[in-house]
A and B are shown apart, each in its own frame.
Chain A
Amino acid sequence: MAMKPEEILQAIHAARGGAICIPTMTTSPAWRTIAPDDLSVGCVGFMGGASSLGLGLALANPDRRVVIFDGDGSLLMQLGSLATIAGARPRNLTHLLFKNGVYHTSGSQVTPGGLTVDFVQMARGAGYRNAYAVRDFEDFKKRLPAVLSEEGPLFVELHTGLAEKTPMTDRGGKPFHEQVDTLRRRLLTAAGGAA
């Protein structure tokens, strides 16, 4: 049975501590209900950018975990970012792929190759430190502490069903520039406090 994206996000929220999270596409509406905080920034309006946004944040905040919630269609759009991330070797980066085999947000068209595309092999081939697939929620819960702490870059392909909401059925959320501004202020306060 495919996992429910909302359950995965709930579990991450409970365990994340001070981790920065980067939702995109169908993880966005669920995440802003589950974690209405200011330590997240959503990739909205530049499909495929979640992985690179996460890389920049991870490099700038080496003492903080950064967790990307990528979409499979989105990752296909900027697949080269796997190699860029592996090359930059951010030890604090976790790249989660919510693999549902479709472009859910734009109307559930099947992605090129659909569910047969093996992103784990791609991430391994690119040079991620570790990459594996998770198909079962009990297994995910067991692995979660390591997912949020093991040396990265780490890639986890999560086999999920469709989310309940999409950014099209559930519009809203703060505009991207407000999210950017809020997260930057928050990180500045943390940086100042640690100085």
Chain B
Amino acid sequence: MPESIPAPLIIDVLKDTFREARAALAQEGWRQKGDHLGTILSVPDTHQKSVLAALDKEQAIRVITCATEDEAATINAGLWMGGEPVVLMIQHAGLYASINTLRGVAMDGKVPTFYMIGLLSREKDKDPKDSRHSMVRFAEPLLDTFGVPHARMEGPDDVHLIPEYYRLAQQRKGPAAVLVGLETA
């Protein structure tokens, strides 16, 4: 059975992911501007709201709330060109809303774009493909259609997927996504 992941665990993993990303950027020759470890671009995801609440108190990570997911994916491209590490936090509906930007910016622009996507309303006892909700059902097939590598976090043991898929986005120079199976605790 899938389990909820506690927010503090996700925050710790995000910090480690950003630290590793900063080290790789420094290796490339970038110097850090400002004192934040990295930037979260968020269009508030109900599913990950405990993480967003915890991030409010977190000085080391800069959070920018965007009006749309199109903006988030495009701001990410600008930050990447300036050597800044970024994570996008959105929900499945936001993925559907911003698919032209995923295609035009992340894919055609060859911009590393790492998404954490909440599967709001996903039933605990069901595979997403069997969900009663179209919002839950279509996320993974849509990512497959666009050839976006993705994995689902089904509990605390799966948080290693965050740095893995972050790295994958950098290596492939394009989008990669981790789906959040259950609402974070």
Contact = CB atoms under 8 A, between A and B. Distances in A.
B75 A55 contact: yes
A56 B74 CA distance: 7
Interface residues of B, number: 33
Contacts of A61: 33, 82
Contacts of B30: 188, 191-192
A191 B26 CA distance: 11
Given A49-B105, A88-B64, A177-B109, A78 B81 contact: no
Interface in A47-88: 48-49, 52-63, 78, 80-81, 83-84, 87-88
A177 B110 contact: yes
A83 B67 CA distance: 7
B81 A187 contact: yes
Contacts, number: 117
A89 to B, nearest CB: 10
A78 B70 CA distance: 8
Contacts of A170: none
Given A52-B75, A56-B79, A194 B104 contact: no
Contacts of A45: 104, 108
Contacts of B28: 188
The A interface, classified by DSSP as helix, strand, loop or mixed, is: helix
Contacts of A55: 71, 75, 78
27 contacts: A48-B70, A49-B74, A49-B104, A52-B75, A53-B75, A53-B78, A57-B79, A57-B81, A59-B64, A59-B75, A59-B82, A60-B83, A61-B33, A80-B67, A83-B67, A84-B64, A84-B66, A175-B108, A176-B109, A177-B110, A180-B110, A187-B83, A188-B30, A191-B29, A192-B29, A194-B31, A195-B31
